[in-house]
A and B are shown apart, each in its own frame.
Chain A
Amino acid sequence: MTELIRLDHVTRTFTVNRHVIKAVDDVSLTIHQGEVVCLVGESGCGKTTTGKMAAGVLGPSSGRIEFLGQDTAMLSKVAFKSYRLGVQMVHQDPYSSLNPVHSVFDIIAAPLRHHGLTQGEAATRRRVRELLELVDMTPPDEFLDKYSHQLSGGQRQRVSVARALTVNPRFIVADEAVSMVDVSIRVSLLNMLTRLKEQMGLAVLFITHDLALAKYFAWEGRIGVMYLGRIVELAPARQLVDEPQHPYTQVLLSAIPEANPDVTRRKRRIELRSMDVPSLLRLPSGCAFHPRCPRFEGVQCEMAVPALIGFDDGSAVACHPVSRARGLLGAPAWAATEKAL
């Protein structure tokens, strides 16, 4: 698999009332062509910021972002254009992602016309119909003249996806793309995204706070778990779900209710040491998870920030006790990340 997007030790800070907040801290992540990567984490953990940086709408405070092996900060004009159009995003809020003053046709036709992707009005109309069919809005003629307020949340998200597809992207960042949609519509939206991914060889960075969704969507891909700005575990989806290694991942998984109530009742909930999520303004020293961690092991966890260490089985974990248990004592951060990549 060729490498498509690579975040290389990317950090993003925001200044809020003169306090500097590290929304994303030293994240490294590679996404290959046609691959699905899910980022999960609770709200405020930096997953959207990571997604926006990968999509190129937000610059990193430090670190590099590479597109097809080239640093995006130093692209030539032509290369930047192919990067700009090659990476698209589907937003979380279906109510603000479509311009209320334009019809569905106008929304999808604008990029087609602007970039000369279709020649003439008839071709544009044909292509818009095609795209609407692609996102399961059939018959397309019924939707062409509708305005966004006349569509349901699910339909809006479909139009959003169709708009992203106009410029033939290779990579789509779906930021909580289904979380504001009725539960009954979610699966069909996810299936549509999966189908598009297969058909067009799209790579998808799927951002969600719902581990069950990530599990469903990224079953063939990888899941990364974020906690307070850092990736704490990154592994192929099956592996992460079956054998979670980082205590935070274990806690998250143990909290997912199962379809069978008997199983849910028998499921052992892992107890946290504290229920409070620390403020980004006052991050705990060392491992940010240590005040809540059930596997807390003393000074090292309190003092040293654990690096994301890659293991031979394809997983990567940022946790001192895990590294110790797997026989990787204090490997330097740079070496660990090299391996993880």
Chain B
Amino acid sequence: MAAVVEVMSGTARELGKTLRLLSRNKIGFAGLLVTLLVVFMSLAGPLIWPPEQSANVADINQGPSQKHWLGTDFQGQDNLLKVISGGKEIVIIAFLAGTLTTLLAVSVGAFSAFIGGWVDGLLMEVVNVWLTIPKLPLLAILATMLKLNDVWLLAVILALIQWPGLARQVRSQILTLKKRDYVEAATMLDLGTGNIIFREMLPNMMSFITIALIFEMTHAIYQQTSLVFLGLVPFSGANWGVMIELAQRKGALFAPTAAWSLLAPSLAIILFQLALVSFARSLDEVFNPRLRTSV
């Protein structure tokens, strides 16, 4: 019982310490808060503020006002409500694709670095070839063959397309870590392969991996919105990409009054990206003891 309490209080302490570390970097902490806000609004927002079902002919293409904070679109629907209801797929796919890409890249990169020899050579050759393939045209071709309207399927495909660059970086990180004196010392102390990987090497890569994860997420957002924008992925209903595409098709690029229907989803994407990237800054402090001088 005492042991359980000890573990629990230990975890609580660690959690408190992590929170304190996160809050030390103001920009990073703001990034975390905005990220959480965007995620919450996208997942729970539509339940609280349901999207409008019908067109509103009286309020077409209006600028921001007290009634419509971000203006209205060509159907007279509120842009803010559409942004709220259009984030769900973007957020889910960003997290899924980002996580899958990172998992795949770390596994392949680490495996390649550990095995070495011809396996390593072969894998890196595959990576090189993969890196030369232009991604968006490939996605366009895939979209004609597959029905990319499933969240999971799209996430998996984005991950499959995106992993090689990160895998290369992970491999080189592991190669340098393998040669560190403290890894050799751990070998001599016979701490076991598991300990060497998870205790000696991985913590040294954590900040790198989490930041890579976040950048993979932002990348996935760009890729899926551009897919939707190009009309290659038929997402039903609202989606930031769909909004941009519709706005553009309805002349938002030329009609100043319609600009807000283009700006609203773009701002949402920019805000989410910016929040993620600044959050990455805070994470660096959490994982790098050199940056957390006094906690």
Chain A contacts to B: CB under 8 angstroms: 55-57, 81, 84-85, 87-89, 91-93, 96-102, 110-111, 114-115, 147, 149, 160, 163-164, 166-167
Whether A100 lies near B181 (C-beta < 8 A) is: no
Instruction: Among B190, B192, B204, B290, point to the contact of A149 (Cβ < 8 A).
Output: B290
A91 and B184 contact, Cβ closer than 8 Å, known pairs A100-B290, A111-B189 = yes
Q: Does B255 contact A (CB under 8 A)?
A: no
- Tell me which residues from 172 to 188 in chain B have a Cβ below 8 Å from any Cβ of chain A: 180-182, 184-188
**Inter-chain contact B190/A84, CB cutoff 8 Å:** yes
Mind listing 22 A-B residue pairs with CB under 8 Å? Answer: A56-B188, A57-B188, A81-B190, A84-B190, A85-B189, A88-B188, A91-B181, A92-B181, A96-B181, A97-B181, A97-B185, A99-B180, A99-B204, A100-B290, A101-B287, A102-B203, A110-B191, A114-B191, A114-B192, A149-B290, A163-B185, A163-B189
Closest to A112 in B: B189
Contact B289 A100 (CB under 8 A): yes
* B195 at the A interface (CB under 8 A): yes
Question: Across the interface, do B289 and A87 meet the contact criterion of CB distance under 8 Å?
Answer: no
**Once bound together, how far apart are the Cα atoms of A87 and B187, in whole Å?**
11
A85 contact set on B, CB distance < 8 A? 189-190
Partner pick for A57 among B184, B199, B287, CB 8 A cutoff? B184
Q: Are B188 and A115 in contact (CB under 8 A)?
A: no
Q: Is B200 an interface residue (CB 8 A)?
A: yes
Which residues does chain B contribute within 8 Å of A100, judged by CB atoms? Answer: 204, 289-290
- Known A100-B290, A110-B195; judge A89-B184 contact (CB<8 A): yes
* Contact across chains for B188 and A99 when beta carbons are under 8 A apart: no
Contact size range, B:
20 to 34
Q: Which residues of A contact B289 (CB under 8 A)?
A: 100-101, 147, 149
Residues of A within 8 A of B200 (CB): 99
Interface-central residue, A55, A93, A101, A114, by most chain B CB under 10 Å: A101
Q: Which B residues are CB-close (under 8 A) to A110?
A: 186, 189, 191, 195, 199
Which 3 pairs show the lowest CB-CB distances between chains A and B?
Answer: A91-B181, A97-B181, A101-B203
Q: Which of B203, B287, B289 has the most CB of A within 10 A?
A: B289
Within 8 A of A (CB), among B12-29: none
Q: Do A111 and B181 touch (CB < 8 A)? A: no
Partner of B182, one of A57, A97, A149, A167: A97
Q: Bound state CA distance, A149 and B293, in angstroms?
A: 10
Give bound CA distance, A91 to B204, whole Å. Answer: 20
Q: A174 to B204: give the CA distance in the assembly, Å.
A: 26
A81–B192 Cα distance when bound, in Å, is 12
Closest-by-CB residue of B relative to A88 is B188
The reply to whether B189 and A57 contact each other, CB–CB distance below 8 Å, is: no
Chain B min CB distance to A278 (Å): 27
**Known contacts A111-B191, A114-B191; A89 and B203 CB within 8 A of each other:** no
Of chain B, the residue at the smallest CB distance from A97 is B181
A166 to B189, Cβ gap below 8 A? yes
A298 and B195 alpha carbons, distance in the complex (Å)? 57
A106 to chain B, nearest CB (A): 9
Find residues 201-234 in chain B having any chain A CB closer than 8 Å to their own CB.
203-204
B184: chain A residues within 8 A (beta carbon): 57, 89, 91
B185 touches A84 (CB 8 A): no
Chain A: minimal CB distance from B263 (Å) = 44
Q: A147-B289, A149-B289, A149-B290 are in contact. Are A99 and B182 (CB under 8 A)?
A: yes
List the A side residues contacting B189 at CB < 8 Å.
85, 88, 110-111, 114, 163-164, 166-167
> Quick one: given A99-B204, A100-B204, are A89 and B182 in contact (CB under 8 Å)?
no
Which residues does chain A contribute within 8 Å of B203, judged by CB atoms?
99, 101-102
A114 vs B194: C-alpha distance in the bound complex, in angstroms?
A: 11
B191 cross-chain contacts in A, Cβ below 8 A: 110-111, 114
A124 to chain B, nearest CB (A): 14
In chain A, what residue has the closest Cβ to B3? A121
Question: Which residues from chain B contact A89 at a C-beta distance below 8 Å?
Answer: 184-185, 188
A92 to B182, CA, bound (A): 11
* A55:B188 contact, CB within 8 angstroms: yes
Residue of A nearest to B192 (CB): A114
* Pair A57/B187 contact, Cβ less than 8 Å: yes
The answer for the CA separation of A148 and B98 in the assembled complex, in Å, is 33
Residues of A within 8 A of B195 (CB): 110, 114
Known A-B contacts A99-B200, A101-B289; A160 and B190 likewise in contact (beta carbons under 8 Å): no
A91 to B181, CA, bound (A): 7
Min CB–CB distance B266 → chain A (angstroms): 40
* A91 contacts B185, C-beta separation under 8 Å: yes
In the complex, which residues of chain B have a beta carbon less than 8 angstroms from the beta carbon of A115?
Answer: 190
User: Bound state CA distance, A110 and B192, in angstroms?
Assistant: 11
Q: How far is the CB of B52 from chain A (nearest CB, A)?
A: 51
Q: Which residues of chain B have C-beta atoms less than 8 A from A96's C-beta?
A: 180-182
Give Cα distance in the complex from A288 to B184, angstroms. 32
Residues of A within 8 A of B287 (CB): 101
